């Protein structure tokens, strides 16, 4: 059994991720002090709140960057020396890198995370380490059901599994086509 | 002919100065700002009467708001101010360095864009300078992530501000001949230039041309987009 670390298990999707990833190896929900790491799954889902662009505060942007970027970087840095050759890094965020109505600070942080994943995929590829981003829809919305959460966990297990060396630095969109629909572009009510 | 005031951040040198020059030529009243006030003043002096200069640290919201309060016909905001990063791997870049870079490249863009949007009427234009690096690059994860954030912010802003008739777009330059390249040893710079389709770093005016297009009245139907101005180096690299 390989060692899989899941960070953010207490956030949305966390329970489903924990259940599913436990089938793939020995799962810990925080970084143990020692031991090799086969897969590092960092769960930072986006809960879209409707804050309009004009109302977002500097503190909100700072908070979003801390949670979705700097904390993720810190976790990767901490785990890095212990990642095995061929290890997998998976970040679970949202489709916010594409932009969305409300919460521009979260979308910016989501996009920064996608950029980070791409750059570490390029850098760590030499060690055989892969890094990918899973981009489901925003947590807590109408689409968010036990069935879709199970699909998010399934996709995370796929990205965390060994052997898929060709997929690296990618953002896997898992949003039931919602970002493809023009209805997304309509002016929201209220 | 364009009109109204165009504010350009980081206009003391390099791409920012070229943008200021181009927008002035296109008919805008340009306010060239830079954290280095003397450099901004030099830009204004070069451009001649009608162009003004101001010292501006884009991370200081009160200063940004006070400066923009003095403008009654704000038409264009170009978020050009940004800082570069040296080559460092993910293990080496400190979180303090991540925060330092994001403060200017992301939070500065947010502050100026938000304060600008509040003071713009229909037809307003916001142009953010990202970087080809937003598509990824080994050895500067913080710079890549900060520029990816600029693109994400551009799209999110465009989604909302279009209802106010304001467009928000980005230009992602490739290798440009500016002082940002000073950090690289000459041999490395030559190797980088050899990998460019044109064989050389671009003239900043080439980036200013893309910005000027997005800032022009005719570009009203282009929104939330990223123009990769990199001589075609990124062809084949898919967008995020």
The two three-digit tokens of residue B68, written as one number? 């923009």
Nearest-Cα residue of chain A relative to residue B147: A112
Q: Where in the sequence is the domain holding B176, given as residue range(s)?
A: 5-229
pLDDT at A180: 82
User: For residue B18, is it within any domain?
Assistant: yes
Within-domain flag for B37: yes
pLDDT at B2 over 70: yes
Does residue B239 belong to any structural domain of this protein? no
* CATH code at position B110: 3.40.50.720
pLDDT in tens, B200-219: 999 999 999 999 999 999 99
Which pair of structure tokens corresponds to residue B133?
């690096």
Domains of chain A: 2-176 (3.40.50.720)
Shortest distance, CA B227 to any CA of chain A (angstroms) = 16
Is residue B103 in some structural domain? yes
Cβ pair A54:B117 closer than 8 A:
yes
Cβ pair B152:A56 closer than 8 A? no
Convert the pLDDT of each residue in A136-177 to its tens digit: 999 999 999 999 999 999 999 999 999 888 999 999 999 998
Any domain includes B236: no
Chain B, 19 to 48: residues with Cβ < 8 Å from chain A are none
Q: In what order do the strands lie in the sheet with A171-174?
A: A25-28, A2-7, A37-43, A83-92, A130-136, A171-174
Indicate whether B237 belongs to any domain.
no
For residue A64, the surrounding DSSP H or E stretch is helix A58-65
Grouping H, G, I as helix, E, B as strand and the rest as coil, residue A13 is coil
> Residue A133's closest chain B neighbor by CA?
B240
Helical ranges in A1-54 per DSSP H: 14-21
Number of folded domains in chain B? 1
What is the model's pLDDT at position A189? Answer: 60
Q: Does A96 sit within 8 Å of B152, measured CB to CB? A: yes
Residue B197 confidence class, pLDDT cut points 50, 70, 90 = confident
CA A131 to chain centre: 10
Pairwise pLDDT comparison (A70 vs A179), residue with the higher score: A70
């Amino acid at each position: 059994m390989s060692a899989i670390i899941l960070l953010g298990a207490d956030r949305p999707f966390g329970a489903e991720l924990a259940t599913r990833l436990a089938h793939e190896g020995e799962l810990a929900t925080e970084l143990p002090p020692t031991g090799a790491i086969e897969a590092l799954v960092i769960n930072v889902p986006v809960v879209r709140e409707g804050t309009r662009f004009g109302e977002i505060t500097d503190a909100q942007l700072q908070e979003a960057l801390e949670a979705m970027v700097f904390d993720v970087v810190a976790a990767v840095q901490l785990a890095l020396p212990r990642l095995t050759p061929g290890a997998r890094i998976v970040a679970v965020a949202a489709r916010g890198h594409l932009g969305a109505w409300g919460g521009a600070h979260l979308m910016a942080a989501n996009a920064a995370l996608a950029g980070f994943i791409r750059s570490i995929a390029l850098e760590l590829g030499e060690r055989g380490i892969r890094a990918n981003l899973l981009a489901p829809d925003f947590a807590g919305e109408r689409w968010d059901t036990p069935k879709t959460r199970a699909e998010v966990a399934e996709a995370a297990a796929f990205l965390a599994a060994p052997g898929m060396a060709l997929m690296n630095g990618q953002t896997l969109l898992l949003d039931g086509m919602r970002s493809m629909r023009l209805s997304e572009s309509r002016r929201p009510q209220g | 002919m364009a009109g109204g005031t165009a504010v350009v951040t980081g206009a003391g040198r390099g791409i920012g100065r070229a943008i200021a020059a181009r927008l002035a030529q296109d008919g805008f009243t340009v306010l060239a700002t830079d954290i280095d006030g003397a450099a901004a003043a030099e830009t204004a002096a070069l451009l001649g009467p009608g162009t003004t200069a101001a010292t501006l640290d884009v991370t200081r919201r009160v200063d940004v708001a006070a400066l923009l309060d003095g403008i009654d016909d704000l038409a264009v905001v170009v978020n050009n101010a940004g800082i570069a990063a040296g080559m460092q791997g993910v293990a080496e870049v400190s979180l303090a360095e991540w925060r330092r870079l994001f403060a200017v490249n992301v939070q500065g863009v947010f502050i100026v864009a938000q304060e600008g949007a509040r003071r713009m009427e229909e037809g307003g234009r916001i142009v953010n300078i990202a970087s080809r690096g937003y598509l990824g690059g080994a050895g500067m994860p913080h710079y890549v992530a900060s520029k990816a954030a600029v693109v994400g912010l551009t799209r999110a802003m465009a989604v909302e501000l279009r209802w106010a008739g304001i467009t928000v777009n980005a230009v992602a330059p490739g290798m440009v001949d500016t002082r940002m390249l000073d950090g690289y040893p000459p041999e490395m710079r030559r190797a980088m230039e050899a990998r460019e389709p044109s064989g050389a770093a671009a003239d900043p005016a080439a980036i200013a041309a893309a910005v000027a297009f997005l800032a022009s009245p005719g570009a009203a139907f282009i929104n939330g987009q990223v123009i990769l101005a990199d001589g075609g180096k990124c062809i084949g690299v898919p967008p995020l």
